[in-house]
Amino acid sequence: MLAAKGTKIGFIGTGVMGSSMAKQLLNGGYEVHIYTRTKAKAEALLELGMIWHHTPGELAGQCDAVMSIVGYPRDVEQLYLGEGGIVESSKPGTYLIDMTTSSPKLAKRIHEAAASKGLYALDAPVSGGDVGARNASLSIMVGGDQEAFTAVEPLLKKMGTNIVLQGGPGAGQHTKMVNQIAIASNMVGVCEALVYAKHAGLDLNSVLKSIESGAAGSWSLSNLAPRIIAGNFNPGFYVKHFIKDMGIALEAADEMGIELAGLALAKGLYEKIAAAGLADNGTHALYKAWD
């Protein structure tokens, strides 16, 4: 079990969510090592006491566990399986925890490559956005071996409150796809509801007060609808990354021989706003598809 005292944690991906997640680990007593492409981007975290490395491989070679939350499956593949990457550079017994929303098939490949070198790999994507990362209240969906999960659970508990081992390698990613499928159609509903209310001449805040605690209630309605009403489309989770997630889910669904019409519709709407220059906005910017 990875107790805080004397344990070195590597963290790669200090963006909107990752920086808060790394801070939770540091505040939990762990020695946190980070990698960023340029050191200047990490200055605020270094001032808190984190340790910067020039390459992911250099970081991996010095840590007891390596965690990552990056952009796309291609980034994950290069980071873990590329020349000089994490699998190649980690010392035997290291725990590798990828928290990126990525491909279930890739998660299985990383697990196999890690196991061949005496490493323990887990896929552990998260849900809860920037708010969940700041409040250490993320939902963490884990795929991998029970023994490895038990060992890293203290780390995960520093960042989340709902942590479930869903099954073997890739199960965490499949569960995250379930999460994204539910969110995608729900976000369409949230945006259409607000568009309807606006055109009906209703006060949007008053409408929200009436519906968010009833049958229409959802995390997106309570947390993102107020941002829409305020005209704040800053990202808690990027449009471009959500499009990536929906693509992974649709690909997996096709492999399983199932049709997800609602997800396909949502992806098309998100691609529309991305093409209009909103790819770096938050997912709630979908509202602008009707604006």
> Domains in the chain, start-ordered, CATH in brackets?
8-167 (3.40.50.720), 174-289 (1.10.1040.10)
Residue 35 reports pLDDT greater than 90? yes
Average pLDDT over residues 64-73: 96
Residue 6's pLDDT band, with cuts at 50, 70 and 90, is: confident
pLDDT value, residue 231: 97
pLDDT value, residue 122: 98
Residue 102's pLDDT band, with cuts at 50, 70 and 90, is: very high
Average pLDDT over residues 96-115: 97
pLDDT value, residue 291: 77
Average pLDDT over residues 270-283: 97
Residue 208 reports pLDDT greater than 90? yes
pLDDT, tens digit, 9 for 90 and up, residues 223-239: 999 999 999 999 988 99
Average pLDDT over residues 101-111: 97
Residue 5 reports pLDDT greater than 90? no
Residue by residue, DSSP assigns 223-284 as HTHHHHHHT----SSBHHHHHHHHHHHHHHHHHHT---HHHHHHHHHHHHHIIIIITTSBGG
Compute, in degrees rounded to 10, the torsion defined by CA atoms 25, 31, 32, 35: -170
Residue 219, CA atoms < 13 Å, CB-side half-sphere: 14
pLDDT value, residue 156: 97
pLDDT, tens digit, 9 for 90 and up, residues 124-145: 999 988 889 999 999 999 999 9
Name the residues annotated as catalytic: 176
**b/e code 159-189 from CB counts within 10 Å (16+ = b):** bbeebebbeebbbbbbbbbebbbbbbebbbe
DSSP conformational letter for 154 = H
